[in-house]
Amino acid sequence: MARANEWVGKVLALLKGGNTTAAIAQIKVAPDAGSVKALQSALAAARLAGRWRDVDAAVADSIVALSAPRLHRSP
């Protein structure tokens, strides 16, 4: 059985508490694309998707950025 993602719960708590600025900041520094996709699924399950346009945009941008192949390797 898959482990629950703690990061998703923390971001959802920020959103439900009304602190969208902190939630967007957390989304921008997400650990990986899978976590952001899990957040997107959790938002849809909680019927919160579409409630905050800026949050939806940050989620979409983060998924694209984290899923894209890297253009260079770090030294």
Share of the chain above pLDDT 70, in %: 88
Through-space distance between the first and last CA atoms of the chain, rounded to whole angstroms: 37
pLDDT of residue 1: 38
Q: How far apart are CA 30 and CA 7, in angstroms?
A: 8
Structure tokens that stand for 59 in this block = 């989620």
pLDDT of residue 68: 80
For residue range 8-23, list pLDDT tens digits in order.
Answer: 999 999 999 999 999 9
Q: Is the pLDDT at 31 greater than 80, yes or no?
A: yes
Q: How far apart are CA 73 and CA 14, in angstroms?
A: 34
Q: How far apart are CA 24 and CA 15, in angstroms?
A: 9
Q: Is the model's pTM score more than 0.75? A: yes
Q: How far apart are CA 48 and CA 36, in angstroms?
A: 15
